[in-house]
């Protein structure tokens, strides 16, 4: 890839590029461990196979660490990669310190299920093991990502780049850091006011506001990835850079409601919970102008022969499916994980596509070849089958966060639907392994600088 096609130029500092490479390695490592746990999760919920795992806590402990590594660590590590590249080369010590904390925290979280006292709590957003080791790991990782975020807030303001080529991407990445900072502030407010309760209810309240806010960061950076990929693939959305910066700012506006919610609806009240749920439902509509521009430009990137193009198409499809399923939720059943799996996988595929694009920019070999081109379709197709199976099962009232006999699959249709879920999950795991293989091959065998 030539410099001419670079939509977002780097600071040019080799040290900053090394930091970005290290963050990519953290994200890939998290996906490797999470993928191994995903194999066990799919088997534990597939009809006819669940009896291999008679202990309920095994499924739940694996689920906690799988979610935290595949969503929290992977997404935040990739965000830190973008913050490292889009900012200046100043305060690198802060970036490396953050990386060290994040690595230590991730390793402790990964080891915590094997240490004494692990009690899985399946609260929303960041499920936890109610155990000192796990909580220490989560705190270290959170502090590490927070340092990366703070460094970008201090050094990454796009300034004169706004309105020029790539200015909208720089602003989008910076606003992602602003949104993340609001999430951290919400966490601090929750810690200061959370009622003296224990167990799942404590962490549900603690992470409810910060978790909802963090979803806006992930979605915003996904839009950055879509926009960047579309431009690099020769299908730029038909909007000036100045107009695009305004639309990225518009997409960030919902986070203004976060402090307002904390002021008017105290933590633990029904109003607090309902306000954040409503913010999630209506807040993302402000991203629609950007999404519409991207959707209109998307056909010009077809045929999707390049891995990045395939990832872009798959990401858009899964994210849209997840959004539609969000409006079909009725009660507490597996339609809920079908919704957030679609949305989360949409973000994951966007980051996968951008990772393919960034590999040569970071000094590695280009992701190419048959496996790289097929990977987004295998991963995305498997996940699509997975969420369709979950949504179908949800129509029969199959409950979420259960496995084995607790699923109470009484009809053939329910068993077929959950079998579809299991098959899709298995295919998606293969797609995830393919992504890791392609990246490792480029990173280990094609280093140029």
CATH code for position 381: 1.20.120
Instruction: Quickly state the pLDDT bin for 1 (edges 50, 70, 90).
Output: very low
pTM above 0.75, yes or no: yes
Q: Which pLDDT value is given to residue 321?
A: 83
pLDDT at 217: 96
Alpha carbons 401 and 207: distance in angstroms, whole number: 18
Give residue-wise pLDDT tens across range 159-201: 766 766 678 999 999 999 999 999 999 999 999 999 888 899 9
Give the range among 8-22, 45-59, 316-330 with minimum mean pLDDT. 45-59
Whether 388 has a pLDDT exceeding 90, the answer reads: no
Find the range with the poorest average confidence among 64-78, 161-175, 372-386, 393-407.
393-407
* Look-up of token digits 């954040």: 276
Is residue 429 one of the residues assigned to a domain?
yes
The larger pLDDT score, comparing residue 84 to residue 368, is at 84
Q: Is residue 26 part of a domain?
A: no
In the predicted structure, residue 15 carries a pLDDT above the cut 70: yes
What phi and psi values does residue 127 have, to the nearest 5 degrees?
A: -65, 155
In the predicted model, what is the mean pLDDT of residues 147-169?
84
Judged by average pLDDT, the poorest of 95-99, 157-161, 179-183, 257-261 is 157-161
Identify the pLDDT of residue 284. Answer: 87
| Residue 129, phi then psi, degrees to nearest 5 | -100, 120
- On whether residue 308 sits in a domain, the answer given is yes
What is the residue range of 316's domain? 302-449
The predicted structure's pLDDT at residue 280 = 86
pLDDT at 394: 53
Residue 15 lies in a domain: no
The answer to the question of residue 212 being in a domain is no
DSSP of 102-157, one letter per residue? HHHHHHHHHHGGGSTT--EE--SSS-EESSHHHHHHHHHHHHHHHHHHHHHHHH--
125 vs 42, more confident: 125
Instruction: Give mean pLDDT, residues 134-144.
Output: 96
Q: How would residue 14 be classed by pLDDT, with cut points 50, 70 and 90?
A: confident
What DSSP assignment string belongs to 224-266? HHHHHHHHHTT---SS-HHHHHHHHHHHHGGGGHHHHHHHHS-
Total domain count, the chain: 1
Give a yes or no: residue 324 inside a domain: yes
408-420 average pLDDT score: 63
Using pLDDT thresholds of 50, 70 and 90, give the confidence band for residue 405: very low
pLDDT single digits (tens) 313-369: 999 999 888 877 766 665 555 566 666 677 889 999 999 999 999 999 898 999 888
Q: What is the pLDDT of residue 12?
A: 53
The confidence score (pLDDT) of residue 316 equals 93
Determine, yes or no, domain membership for 118: no
* Average pLDDT value over all residues in the chain: 84
**Is residue 96 in some structural domain?**
no
Tokens 């224990």, located at residue:
198
pLDDT for the residue 252: 96
Give the distance, in angstroms, between the CA of residue 320 and the centroid of all CA atoms in the same chain: 15
Q: What angle do CA 402, 403, 409 make, to 5 degrees?
A: 95
- Residues 287-316 have a mean pLDDT of 89
């Amino acid at each position: 890839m030539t410099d001419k096609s670079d939509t977002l130029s780097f600071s040019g500092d080799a040290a900053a590029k090394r930091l970005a490479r290290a963050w990519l390695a953290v994200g890939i490592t998290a996906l490797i461990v999470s993928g191994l746990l995903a194999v066990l999760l799919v088997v534990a919920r597939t009809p006819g196979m669940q009896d291999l795992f008679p202990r309920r806590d095994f499924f739940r402990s694996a689920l906690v660490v799988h979610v935290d590594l595949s969503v929290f660590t992977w997404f935040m590590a990739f965000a830190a990669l973008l913050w490292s590249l889009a900012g200046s080369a100043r305060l690198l010590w802060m970036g490396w310190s953050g990386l060290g904390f994040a690595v230590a925290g991730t390793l402790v979280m990964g080891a915590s299920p094997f240490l004494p006292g692990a009690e899985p709590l399946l609260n929303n957003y960041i499920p936890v093991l109610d155990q000192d080791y796990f909580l220490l790991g989560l705190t270290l990782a959170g502090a590490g990502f927070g340092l990366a975020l703070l460094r970008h807030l201090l050094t990454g303001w796009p300034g004169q780049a706004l309105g020029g080529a790539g200015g909208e991407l720089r602003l989008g990445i910076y606003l992602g850091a602003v949104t993340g900072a609001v999430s951290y502030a919400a966490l601090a407010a929750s810690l200061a006011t959370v009622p003296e309760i224990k167990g799942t209810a404590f962490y549900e309240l603690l992470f409810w506001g910060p978790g909802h806010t963090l979803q806006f960061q992930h979605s915003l950076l996904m839009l950055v990835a879509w926009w960047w990929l579309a431009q690099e693939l020769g299908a730029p959305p038909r909007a000036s850079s100045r107009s695009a910066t305004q639309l990225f700012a518009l997409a960030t506006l919902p986070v203004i409601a976060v402090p307002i919610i904390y002021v008017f609806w105290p933590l633990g009240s029904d109003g607090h919970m309902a306000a954040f749920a409503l913010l999630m439902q209506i807040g993302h509509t402000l991203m629609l102008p950007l999404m519409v521009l991207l959707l209109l430009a998307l056909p010009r990137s077809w045929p999707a022969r390049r891995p990045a193009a395939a990832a872009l198409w798959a990401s858009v499809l899964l994210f849209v499916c997840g959004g539609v399923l969000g409006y079909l939720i009725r009660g507490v059943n597996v339609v809920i994980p079908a919704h957030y799996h679609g949305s989360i996988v949409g973000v994951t595929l966007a980051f996968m596509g951008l990772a393919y694009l960034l590999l040569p920019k970071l000094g590695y070999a280009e992701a190419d070849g048959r496996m790289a081109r097929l990977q987004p379709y295998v991963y995305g197709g498997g996940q699509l089958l997975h969420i369709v199976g979950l949504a179908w099962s949800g129509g029969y009232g199959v409950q979420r966060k259960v496995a084995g006999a607790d699923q109470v699959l009484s009809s053939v249709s329910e068993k077929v639907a959950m079998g579809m879920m299991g098959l899709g999950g298995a295919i998606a795991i293969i797609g995830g392994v393919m992504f890791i293989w392609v990246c490792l091959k480029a990173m280990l065998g094609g280093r140029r600088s």
